[in-house]
Structure 1
Amino acid sequence: MNQSAPVITNICDSLPQYSWRTEQIRQMEQQLISAQNISMYQLMLRAGEALFKTVQQCWPQARHLWVFCGKGNNGGDGYVVARLARQAGYRVEVIAFDEPAPDIPAEQAKRDWLKAGGTCCGLSAVYGKPDLIIDALLGIGPSTPLRGELLAWIQFINRQNAPVLSVDIPSGLNADTGMPLGGAVHATATLTLVGLKCGLLTGQAADYTGHLYLSDLKDDAANYCDTGGIQVLNYAWVSSWLSPRKRTAHKGDCGKVLLVGGGPGMPGAIRLAGEASLRTGAGLVKVFCHPENRQLVLSGRPELMSCQDLTKLNLQWPDVLVVGPGLGMEEWGREQWQSVADFSGYRVIDADGLNWLACHPGTHKNSVLTPHPGEAARLLQCTVADVQTDRFATVQELQHRYGGVVLLKGAGTLIYDGRQMAICTEGNPGMASGGMGDVLSGIIAALLAQGLSLFDAACCGALLHGKAASEVAKVHGERGMLASDLFFWLQKLANPQRYQHGNNADTNTER
């Protein structure tokens, strides 16, 4: 085996800077072949070597492999790894779905597998239990629902009590949207090749991909440019947005935030949003809520100030307005929504603010909208299933209709401003509890108040929010996580120079 084969990068810990759609990946393959003066089959050999290294590194005790090969080049990768494993002394069984088309690299890969003494069988001939299954059935090609025999093969793989390594993407998962095409392989790990597919990071992908690895298949001679995809956010970027404060800074320099919400019976949401703004560094934070909630909202957090009414004078005070947390859809909420309609500064619209926006559509170019899929469906007058079918198309349509920056929450949060798009993969299922979205709204407002642009504030806010939840989960686990649990970590993470310099974030000390 070529000892100079590309290094496998574990992208669970350090994501690449960009992800791409399938048509871009295909262009990148051709660029790589041209730049390195190799054939498609030689690129396939590199893929097979990277896959075999993944087998050795992740399952060092495995000696019996089932390799499921499709008829396309994804199947060709499977034939290559099967041959390499057999030559290394592994027991390998190849289960072939149909024949590769003539004159494509997969056909050559199969010929080389057979020349090396390998054989192929059908699904009916498989018996026993392997140490590892390699899924090389489909790759990035399919975009329509699977039916019949292919779906039956995927279901067979999922029934086996053995780990699964998927080649490039779990078979049956849409590489552009992250949604299963009627069914998809539940992989233990996925080695994606050439570049990171955006469908691996959002939709339902997290339920199928398992541990995610990347091999770009380059060698040191690769010099082509592969930028221009969708940005993949990383906490390391926060330090470029949140530099240390000047020694002479005062609270007026750090921005003023006014939060409007907290209707009858709903004090919690606006309180969470307000404290999140404080913990993320806003200089002054006022809360306007229903009179019956004022004591509950302000007690225990004296740093929050109260706004008694939404007069024009009071609306001239803030740099940033948050509207929606706990606002309610009754008459009181409608009155407050109308009161802030002419606010001209930056605003964050969330929760019932989004519901009122759906009732009274209009463009808000100076706003960050933060819908979850249900709110997005109301804004677009469609179903949640429609939203999730293609989250990329959804966030683009929302921005087209309503302007500003749209942050579509969910597993693989998407941020789009009409020109650039980013994905945030921070966070965990523990965030599926009440109040988390209110905390995000407060974070973004504080960042806007401190001078970040709409897009940067949304990106940085998503990172801080998700990273704080990840840190909580490391200590306490996911189940039972409260939105207020994030506050301790928000302050640490909003000071990235201190957080990044310590071996242990709890020391929070600089070197």
Structure 2
Amino acid sequence: MDPIDMMVTDANCEYLGLSRLCLMEAAGKSLGEEVAKIAVFTFAKPVKVVMFTGSGGNGGDAFVAARYLLNRGYDVDIYMLKDNIHSNEAKINLEILLNMKPRLSRLTIHYLTDVDDFKLDEDEDFIVVDGILGTGIRGNLQENIKKAIGVINESNGIKISIDVPSGMDPLTGSVDDVAVVPDYTISFHKIKTGVRDAEEELVGGLVTADIGIPLEAEYFVNYGDFLRLKNRDASSHKGNNGSVLIVGGSKDYHGAPAISGKAAFGAGVDLVYIATPESAAIPVKSASEDLIVKSLDGDYLSLNHLDEILELADKVDAVLIGPGSGINDDTSKLFNVLVTKIKKPIVLDADGLKQVDISLIKNKDNIVLTPHLAEFNQFFNSKLKLDLDSYDFKMVDENITEFQLITKNINGTVIVKGKNDLILSGSKFRINRSGNAGMTVGGTGDALAGIVVSLLSQDLSSFDSACLGVFINGLAGDKAYEINGNGFSASDLVSYIGNVIKNGLC
């Protein structure tokens, strides 16, 4: 499991009612149990447990484990390398240990802010628990932490790392500087990708501890998914935060590409280009002065526009094809050529879906399809129903499996829009529950496509862009309903996109 996926899952537990404090308690209890098992297996008796902690959640897990180990008869020494603990849950669990005064348990807490001349007393058998750094490691290690890692590695105790050995990249398994070399690594919920991929001698024996995270926290899209958004660099300039091209519009439909473009801005992209027939160009320009509109000859998109569109596509990070294009033979020919020639990430929406041959996109992994159920069945030549609103496991499981059997035949990501949206990519799937019945109003699908292409341009994967895109679109629809009731329009929804993202990041 990638570290970001674990962070998102942890956060999304909150929205099922399972607090981070409860998760830390479960993780610490599991850690204590596994340490005790290793102690009995190795020494056949309780021994001293020495814990090194940092400022994050791994230290909090160690604080909890200390209580359970003390109750089992272990001596516990905690060496805190940081007194400015960042995790609120870790602070709470440290406070519990500090409140245990007069001391009736064999616990000693040391504030080890200077490791220069520190050495462990090795006159007896002991276990060393590494709770210094977690999955959030970034950049070079601080000198004090490097020295502590050296102390751990040089000790004769049995070494146990929490979740990931401190100093190891939790995503790649690489070690840029120094890292704890444990005898065991105890992972919570699922083994992290870097630990799984690293050489065995760098991680020791692997133990996976269940801490009660429900499947739904992993598979429901929720506010935790905002953690996937990249932080903007304060020194960035125009275009650094994504640029997109929208290919759409026609004599009859000019609102759709404009809605998509404004939605893309709402989701944080820097530049939006719209390639549209001249009959739609002026209305699209009038919808927003922020849109960069390329007017193409005629009333409909056609192969005559291929070179101009490809030239624009080379300038941007992602391309949306289809909104408002209408359906005709000339447009179909263009779209089928575009999906084969454009190598950038693509969103295929609305009329684009109805005119592209599935065989041309089945091997593209950087494409997102955004059909509602009728469009899905037409595109894949199927007759499925989407019905996920149930407590019946068998029914939900069978329904998802039916869709997976079809979508596994393409490499891209598919959003099936419904009361509960289903997002599928290969064997992966997630469910979005945001949104409301008022979103049946025309244009909300164009807004979704604009959000997804915006996220694609900001370096999110196709699957993550689709998942977060439908969630944001639904949240904006919920905000529009809160203000306007069922009388809101797609333009109302678009106006709230930036606001719901800002609130989601708080």
C-alpha distance 228-400 of structure 1, shift in aligned 2 (>3 A) = same
Given the alignment of the two structures, is residue 366 of structure 1 paired with residue 369 of structure 2, yes or no? no
Given the alignment of the two structures, is residue 282 of structure 1 paired with residue 280 of structure 2, yes or no? no
Query: Contact 2:354–2:375 at 8 Å: present in 1 too?
Result: yes
C-alpha distance 242-480 of structure 1, shift in aligned 2 (>3 A) = same
Q: Could you tell me which residue of structure 2 aligns to residue 266 of structure 1? A: 253
Equivalent residue letter for 1:414: L
Q: Could you tell me which residue of structure 1 aligns to residue 499 of structure 2? A: 492
Q: Could you tell me which residue of structure 2 aligns to residue 31 of structure 1? A: none
C-alpha distance 452-230 of structure 1, shift in aligned 2 (>3 A) = same
Residue deviations 1:458-481 (CA, integer Å, cap 9, x gap): 11111110011111112221x222
Equivalent residue letter for 2:314: Q
Q: Could you tell me which residue of structure 1 aligns to residue 459 of structure 2? A: 451
Residue deviations 1:179-216 (CA, integer Å, cap 9, x gap): xxxxxxxxxxxxxxxxxxxxxxxxxxxxxxxxxxxxxx
For residues 214-253 of structure 1, what are the structure 2 equivalents within 5 Å? Answer: 225=212, 227-228=214-215, 231-253=218-240
Q: Distance in 2 between matches of 1:461 and 1:319?
A: 17
Q: Could you tell me which residue of structure 1 aligns to residue 378 of structure 2? A: 378
Q: Could you tell me which residue of structure 1 aligns to residue 487 of structure 2? A: 480
Query: Contact 1:350–1:370 at 8 Å: present in 2 too?
Result: yes
Query: Match for 1:396 among 395, 404, 408?
Result: 404
Q: Could you tell me which residue of structure 1 aligns to residue 471 of structure 2? A: 463
Moved more, 397-406 or 320-329: 397-406
Equivalent residue letter for 1:429: A
Structure 1 residue 243, shift from structure 2 partner: 4.5
C-alpha distance 397-480 of structure 1, shift in aligned 2 (>3 A) = farther
Structure 1 residue 329, shift from structure 2 partner: 1.6
For residues 46-125 of structure 1, what are the structure 2 equivalents within 5 Å? Answer: none
C-alpha distance 497-228 of structure 1, shift in aligned 2 (>3 A) = closer
SS in 2 for 1:401: coil
Query: Contact 1:263–1:326 at 8 Å: present in 2 too?
Result: yes
Q: Distance in 2 between matches of 1:285 and 1:353?
A: 19
Normalised TM-score (structure 2):
0.52
Equivalent residue letter for 1:280: A
Query: Contact 1:277–1:443 at 8 Å: present in 2 too?
Result: yes
Query: Contact 2:373–2:386 at 8 Å: present in 1 too?
Result: no
Residue deviations 1:20-54 (CA, integer Å, cap 9, x gap): xxxxxxxxxxxxxxxxxxxxxxxxxxxxxxxxxxx
C-alpha distance 406-301 of structure 1, shift in aligned 2 (>3 A) = same
Q: How many residues align?
A: 284
Q: Could you tell me which residue of structure 2 aligns to residue 353 of structure 1? A: 352
Structure 1 residue 431, shift from structure 2 partner: 0.2
Query: Match for 1:413 among 402, 410, 421?
Result: 421
C-alpha distance 398-346 of structure 1, shift in aligned 2 (>3 A) = farther
Residue deviations 1:420-448 (CA, integer Å, cap 9, x gap): 21111000000011111110000000011
Structure 1 residue 379, shift from structure 2 partner: 1.7
Query: Contact 2:281–2:293 at 8 Å: present in 1 too?
Result: yes
Q: Distance in 1 between matches of 2:319 and 2:402?
A: 25
Query: Contact 1:439–1:483 at 8 Å: present in 2 too?
Result: yes
Structure 1 residue 310, shift from structure 2 partner: 3.6
Equivalent residue letter for 1:491: G
Q: Could you tell me which residue of structure 1 aligns to residue 181 of structure 2? A: none
When Rg is computed on C-alpha atoms for both structures, the one with the higher figure is: 2
C-alpha distance 16-324 of structure 1, shift in aligned 2 (>3 A) = farther
User: Structure 2 unaligned runs (5+)?
Assistant: 1-11, 19-208, 296-304, 389-394
SS in 1 for 2:244: strand
Q: Distance in 1 between matches of 2:409 and 2:478?
A: 33
Q: Could you tell me which residue of structure 2 aligns to residue 14 of structure 1? A: 15
C-alpha distance 16-393 of structure 1, shift in aligned 2 (>3 A) = farther
Given the alignment of the two structures, is residue 343 of structure 1 paired with residue 342 of structure 2, yes or no? yes
Q: Could you tell me which residue of structure 2 aligns to residue 91 of structure 1? A: none
Q: Could you tell me which residue of structure 2 aligns to residue 202 of structure 1? A: none
Normalised TM-score (structure 1):
0.51
SS in 2 for 1:329: coil
Q: Distance in 2 between matches of 1:396 and 1:230?
A: 20
SS in 2 for 1:438: helix
Q: Could you tell me which residue of structure 1 aligns to residue 119 of structure 2? A: none
Q: Distance in 1 between matches of 2:263 and 2:324?
A: 15
Q: Distance in 1 between matches of 2:358 and 2:229?
A: 36
Q: Could you tell me which residue of structure 1 aligns to residue 86 of structure 2? A: none
* Aligned-pair Cα RMSD in Å: 2.8
Structure 1 residue 12, shift from structure 2 partner: 13
Equivalent residue letter for 1:489: Y
